[in-house]
Structure 1
Amino acid sequence: MIWFVYLTALYCIGHLVAEFVPQDNYLINCGSTINTTVDNRVFIGDSAEPGLALLSKSNSISLRNPSSKSSPLYSTTRIFTTSSSYGFGIKKFGTHLVRFHFSPFSSPQFDFNNSNFSVLANGVPLLSNFGAKDFGVTVVKEFIIKVDSVELEVSFVPSKEQNIFAFVSAIEVFSAPINFFVDGVSTSLIVPNKGVKGFSQNISSLVLETVHRINVGGLKLTPFNDTLWRTWIPDEDFLVLKSAAKIATATHSPNYQPGGASEEIAPDNVYMTAQQMNKDNVSTVYNFNITWDFPVGPGDALHFVRLHFCDIVSLALNQLYFNVYINDVVAYKDLDLSSLTFHALASPYYLDFVVDSGHSGSIRISVGPSDLNNSLRKNAILNGVEIMSIKNFVDFESTGLKKRRIWILIGSVIGGFVVLCFVLLAGVVVLRRRRERGKPRRVGSTDTGWTPLRTYRCSSIGTMSEGTALTSPGPNGYHGLKIPYADLALATNNFDKDVMIGSGGFGMVYKAILKDNTKVAVKRGVPGSRQGLPEFHTEIAILSKIRHLHLVSLVGYCEEQSEMILVYEYMEKGTLKSHLYGPKLSPLSWKQRLEICIGAARGIHYLHTGSAQGIIHRDIKSTNILLDENYIAKVADFGLSRSGPCLNETHVSTGVKGSFGYLDPEYFRRRQLTDKSDVYSFGVVLFEVLCARPAVDPALEREQVNLGEWAIEWQKKGLLEQIIDPHLRGQIRPSSLKKFGETAEKCLADYAIDRPTMGDVLWNLEHALQLQENGTPPSPAVDNVTMEPPSAGDIHQVPAENIWMERETAEGSSNISTSRVFSQLIANDGR
């Protein structure tokens, strides 16, 4: 077959990536006195390396298989006649992969049919009543476990019956990559006949055994082709109706994006092949699914399922919408990969689920077209499937084996002592409050007429875990903002697609009117979204604590029935992006665009300076700048926001988050986040506003694809007017365009130290507006030709009381308008 030849060539060429090097890496050739090389990895003979010797040598026997032809790794095995263990020193706590190779053979000394044993890791059972009689040929058992102790003890325990033994041919123990599992995020539980529920436990704390690892639409991948040395098998034997599927292949390597899948999550070859709907076999009706059935065995009711996706079939963004079904339950509706992968095609992504398979003994996975697509574009894809049985819900004890009854007794004693201390402490607090009741209150931020940002203690890496902007009390601390699910379902007509006004990585957005006639936008999280829970809590933590004219307001939230729903003030005019190059909207005037940029800059400047640390937005782009009915700009979407560095720090060290085309290159290279990263993103927005084209447009010629780079070239040549939006020709005064272009150019400096602050950007944009309106600078002291941002001394000369006045104004206590120029320069001794 042609596709087979093509795929074979593709796999042979491969994709060169940096090889993953685990910090813990033990490869043991059991029963051998020599080292063996397999798949470019060296397995150490456990009889040759003292540091890896068995803990109970006298209870084991090394046995050689002279007839082994499959692999040199299986030429020896180790026999255990009594309980014996290997001990592995652990350098990196966390998720580890553990593989056992079992290769039985004919031996005059031992009948492998008499093998029956259990395998434990730090006392947690991995295999029970296991033996060669169950499989008869070479088999590899893979487990994923969490190790939080300095040693991992792997024990082989033969059954107590006479002449029964345990055996193993090879062992692999190595640490998994960072973010192999992402804890603290929403994972959906799929239950037969009950639908989708929430699964509260972290996946990394579970003990998983691999059942299936499938390369959908592709060939078999051996450990040699995988950075984690896994084996992936083709999907053909699992397809329910083979004629419903059609193989899709890619000719280029996957377009990996921050926040999506990495080369370690699955190899390139998994993401470069897929099954798609075979529309060649139907005439006009495209409403059918592709379905796979995967046997999982009776009694294994709970499984972890990871689905891999990479849109290699679309020619442009937002062309592919499809539904994902697990055991005939809608696990993910209207999946749009381009919105989840920073608006990039062929970008790998994965979704995690926990599935209760009941007593069916199989898991059925289907993908099918969404109603959001027209008939010509209906399609659905799947690139890979991993299914793992969940062995139990027991975390590994950091100190090894412990008796549960002893800990229950100790816990009861400690619990009683804690309760007693709590009662005494509560009494002290009550007495203290009574004494202080008559004392006058100190004047604080709550008396100023505006809501300050909440700050917390500092550390060398910021104050929160990745993806969280503030260490907040969580949603339970914001009862006043809770909105019942029933009210939101009523307001959106049960989330009818007819009232849907947008979609994003978090979920769908709906227009609604609450019972009190408040017009709102309802953003509903989607099942299986890994980024959902951190973003959900971050939005609540930030927006419940701040108010500003140019920041979108949070009306409330809902966290019922495993739902994550955020409710915002409704922004009548939608996103800035839709007014720049959206369909059927009249173009904005230059003055309108300047006022919108000034408003957005005010909102971002407030985020950066409203507290000791400030807040870094991390996802400034034209779709996150919204416009109300008066075209007042408001910054939205704080799900990726982070607290800024402490006063004695220069940056926050963190993983890269953001949107492709807007990302600060220095932040991307060094993983060091500052408020200047927002400045860079805003610089891209400025050129987007001027040129009315996307930040990234793959359809254009190579040198024009990236807007920031392309516009800078024209700006440096002094020919910026040649690439502006044609609707603006003849509208912009040259002095205003010059100041605007210089401002955007400074924002896009390669290094953060060379970029202006948002306060400086705001000043220069208001200067550009002043030049546009009357052609004169605001003050003789300001250079209206070159970009000279005010000095730090100039900025700090504005008295604190006037800055507070600006914040009060921004909250709505004054009728300030975005057309008012230099609105924050209230003090006479200011700039």
Structure 2
Amino acid sequence: MGFGKYGLFIWVMSTMCLIKFSLQFDPIDNYLVDCGSPKNSSVGDRDFLADTSDHHFLSDPEQASVSTANSQPISSTYGSSLYTTARVFNRTSNYTFPVNQHGRHFIRLHFFPFALDGETYNLNDLIPATALTVELPRNHHNLMTQALETVARVNMGNQTVSPENDTLWRFWNSDGHFITQNNFVKYVKNISSVKYTAGGPTRDIAPLSVYGTATKLDTEFSPGALLNMTWTFNVDPEFSYLVRFHFCDIIEHPPSQLVLNIYLNSMSVAKDLNLGERMSNVWGAPYYLDAVTRLSGKNMLNVSIGTSLALGAYPESILNGLEIMKISNSKGNLYEVDTGTKSSASRSKQKVWVVAALAGGAVFIVVVLGCLFFIIRRRNRRKSLIVKQSMQQSLSPNMDTDGNAMFSRSKIGYRFPLIAVHEATDKFSESLVIGIGGFGKVYKGVLSDGTQVAVKRGAPQSHQGLAEFQTEVEMLSQFRHRHLVSLIGYCDERNEMIIIYEYMENGTLKNHLYGSDLPKLNWRQRLEICIGSARGLHYLHTSSSKAIIHRDVKSANILLDENMMAKVADFGLSKNGPELDQTHVSTAVKGSFGYLDPEYMTRQQLTEKSDVYSFGVVMFEILCGRPVIDPSRPRGMVNLVEWVREWRKRGELEKVFDPFLVGKMKTESLEKFVEIAEKCLAEQSVDRPTMGDVLWNLEFALQLEGIEVKRRETENDSSTGELESGAGEGSVGDFVGVSMSRVFSEMVKGEKHEMR
């Protein structure tokens, strides 16, 4: 769609005004901090405060501060003084600022890499100055002047290590899905045997949870065999990689008998490595080994630990942890492949490309002129078409009782004639009823092209009337997402209020939890349904400039398709969230009893956190397999949330579990699930997590169950689309057209601190 006559001029002026406004913006809460600096500094007309103990910003000001030993000036774009100091954290610390104005605040974090003076702060343990290169000729690779990017951080023993169990808040993934042949390996755990020794690795190198678990050769399966254990990782070719091997002999045999062969892509890193000798013959003492390898033309890195019979050793192999870091190339780049010096052939190709670019530019100009001509002609034709449609619309029954258009013209494509709905439902045959709700009955239907649909028909006496009908159609027609039920169409002829959805084969989540004879859901299915529902709600909350608040999140409004994938449904009560400068929307209380946010009920203040509270109630439903409100139960058990909290206080939470789940859940996964639900159910909305945080922690709970979470980056689904308002700028997997809060959520997923 092209600009109007003055569209381009208005757009340019609006942008300039916005830039000017942002430059003049002077917030009440305006904190500028120079991290690691011993004194205050100035950058232009901005004054930055040092984060020393004088200003009480940093909870632990004794953390090391460092400055660059290189006095060469940094680009004035960044400010030379601001980017010459930094604060290095080797334990959990917080910056705390008093806030005078409630609402949204903009936070900018500044980063700039520089070489550290080894005498100022010793990082040689965490980042080795040099490492042995696994290639010919062998040499030592200087790492202190290069950037590193974490590719994988893996804990052996098929045990995940959460950030709260690591002194540097790192997440260690379990190795189960990286190992290529797990039928002859064995996972062992013996944390009590780990002994950190003077001069050896510290807890900052790797925590007890890493050195205390291991993957080893199953000697019972293959006694005396000379075998390798191999883990495979996806990497980018044409880069070098730092690989750190973590070892700790936690197996009860003399350490001198543990001798290993270590390989990276079949190239030897260490042959006949006497692990006992490297551990000073102290059983349970940690040890690590660093190596660098370069991958040319390969996108897979194989790490192998093999047995050795040297020194009379018993054929045993073991690995406790592994870290893989991509190393920046000669350009200082971690993403663009360094192709090296260009050959004469390459330069000739470059000339060809220059000529091609010039020719392409000329073609582009011709195409642009042609497009402008086409746009102008199309606009003129559209004007005449609109006039014709307006005349037709005046004769259409798509009007409310006052003669006003019920929906915007963009929704006309979704409108079905009543005769088509009658054909699809056999004139609303009672034999096709699949559900009854406050709006009316829901029928299973089949369109003329064979598509199965669900048809929701508003009853004349329904307390959910025209407003909810219009809201649901308007909301559903704006978005497409794999975890939101899709709108097929609607019908409003002859005072009918009919909405047509995609058909969900397995009905509601509620019916699978209680009140029906449907098969029970196992714990994995319940976790995946929670994750799918959270993804749908997170999309609603972040997909446009203003959040869309569902306002009726409950198990009856979570539907399951033929693959048991969850989709959030029923948007009749949905409402746009607050503006950027507001904290809430004041509105009458609507929703379902038992799921309502107590803060919303008492103050009539609606936020995205109201959906979070309702979702926490659903999580307890999923855990317990019973209704939220059950008057048939004894006093004290009627309200699900209160009942669960009471048994939680007593330390007997297992008494509330769905009996079908007892003994079928891993403790770590269960505890994480309950922790998330309780945080969702905080009395004050400010104490509740966002749906993005809930989603991340649910995926973590699924990983703790020993199940790999399917990465959204690989889920290309035709049902995803973008908001018709044009708020989005592209799509990756589940999400389309999301705001920066969604992008941030995805960026930190691999290394995000666990929700506190």
Normalization by structure 1: what TM-score? 0.38
Please, what TM-score do these two structures have when normalized by structure 2?
0.42
Higher strand share: 1
